[in-house]
């Protein structure tokens, strides 16, 4: 096992500005950006310098705090121009369409608009702290559930994309469960997929697993379903960018393929995401807007063109896993088992675990 590195906070509010890890530079360089302008934050969200549903929720709330402070400063002694704050917040809210947490964070921060910039910042910091507590609770619930469903200890776990501390404030969702299993002595091996086309699994998840000292092997995306059929993993964990009212879950492209393979192999398929990712206003996965990120990400990587010039591409950033293929959804407050007929509307909330 590798030596564990100190924990890292992905996004925070420091001395009047947002500080965030620029994830586009990892694993080669660890650099924190100081963001003082809305336009910078929107660009950072769109270019995936900050990403991951919970981290986007925090970014959305802190972005509103940034807007309110800027509008207040521009107005001098005049009363805060609330309409201008809302106008700019709408631009932030629309920066990425699929992840519900971004709009959730913006909207929640705006509930304090009438109280002024300080109250908005207080709400953003509360969201940050709640995210940290939620990740601890999800880790504990998920670790217990994994041992229950698999009947094994230690366990081998497959995952896709990045759902660790880089996708939240600290620890993570699905990768946070893996970290908890490691800390409890219950992790035999993690099996992250590379996650085409931007390689979040290879660049970010492998980096985080290495920092936490976890045993792991990296897999190419197309090998995941086949290797599940050969018994390489005891469970599959994914995160979620939006969970519809019926339990359908949108996550990084490639998740649906793993769900189908897990069903074939008889392996538990577990979604780990905070309650803020659940969107009861979206009836099913068919109603979730799927972001297409265009040809450039597919036609090359790292500034090198790998496909012929002039081609077109279909590049969905996410797919939707139907609830029938999901063994369980783990949040900080409950475990819902859609595969056994449980629904988000009927399973009650419980206390956080710590």
Positions marked catalytic: 241
Whole-angstrom CA distances from 284 to 66, 114, 247, 316 are 34, 34, 7, 18
Q: Tokens 């660009």, residue?
A: 43
Residues 255 and 319 sit within 8 Å (Cβ to Cβ) = yes
Work out the burial of residue 297: count CB atoms within 10 Å of its CB; fewer than 13 is exposed, 13-18 middle, 19 or more buried: middle
Handedness of CA 330, 331, 334, 340 (dihedral sign): negative
* Rounded Cα gap, residues 34 and 287, in angstroms: 36
* Rounded Cα gap, residues 334 and 348, in angstroms: 7
| Radius of gyration over every alpha carbon of the chain, rounded to an integer in angstroms | 20
* Rounded Cα gap, residues 252 and 241, in angstroms: 8
DSSP symbols for 111-140: TTGGG-HHHHHHHHHHHHHHHHHHHHHHHH
* Rounded Cα gap, residues 34 and 47, in angstroms: 16
SS3 assignment for 27-50: CCCCCEEEECCHHHHHHHHHCCCC
SS3 state of residue 151 = coil
Whole-angstrom CA distances from 279 to 97, 144, 328, 349 are 13, 26, 17, 15
**Backbone angles phi and psi of 32, in degrees to 5:** -105, 130
- β-strand pairing of 304-305 with 300-301: antiparallel
């Amino acid at each position: 096992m590798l030596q564990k590195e100190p924990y890292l906070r992905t996004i925070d509010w420091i001395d009047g500005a947002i500080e965030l890890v620029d994830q586009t530079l990892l694993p080669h360089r660890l650099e924190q950006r100081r963001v003082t302008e809305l336009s910078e934050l929107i660009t950072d969200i769109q270019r995936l310098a900050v990403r991951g549903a919970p981290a986007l929720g925090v970014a959305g709330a802190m972005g509103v705090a940034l807007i309110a402070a800027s509008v207040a400063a521009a107005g001098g002694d005049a009363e805060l121009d609330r309409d201008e704050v809302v106008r700019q917040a709408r631009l932030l809210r629309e920066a990425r369409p699929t992840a519900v947490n971004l709009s959730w964070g913006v909207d929640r921060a705006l509930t304090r608009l009438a109280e002024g910039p300080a109250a908005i910042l207080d709400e953003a910091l509360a969201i940050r702290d709640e995210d940290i507590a939620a990740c601890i609770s999800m880790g504990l619930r998920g670790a217990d559930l994994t041992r229950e469903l698999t009947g094994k200890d230690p366990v081998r776990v497959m995952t896709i994309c990045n759902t660790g501390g880089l996708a939240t404030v600290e620890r993570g969702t699905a990768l946070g469960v893996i970290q908890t299993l490691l800390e409890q002595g219950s992790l035999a091996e993690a099996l992250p997929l590379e996650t085409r086309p931007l390689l979040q699994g290879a660049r970010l998840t492998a980096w985080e697993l290495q920092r936490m000292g976890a045993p792991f092997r990296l897999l190419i995306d197309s090998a995941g379903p086949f290797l599940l059929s050969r018994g390489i993993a005891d469970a599959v964990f994914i995160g979620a960018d939006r969970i519809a009212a019926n339990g359908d879950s949108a996550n990084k492209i490639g998740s649906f393929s793993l769900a189908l393979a897990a069903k074939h192999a008889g392996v538990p398929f577990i979604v780990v995401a905070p309650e803020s990712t659940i969107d009861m206003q979206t009836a099913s996965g068919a109603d979730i807007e799927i972001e297409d990120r265009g040809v450039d990400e597919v036609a090359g990587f790292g500034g090198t063109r790998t496909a012929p010039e002039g081609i077109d591409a279909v590049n969905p950033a996410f797919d939707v896993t139907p609830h029938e293929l999901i063994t369980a959804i783990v949040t900080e407050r409950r475990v819902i088992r859609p595969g056994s007929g449980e629904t988000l509307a009927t399973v009650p909330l419980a206390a956080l675990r710590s």
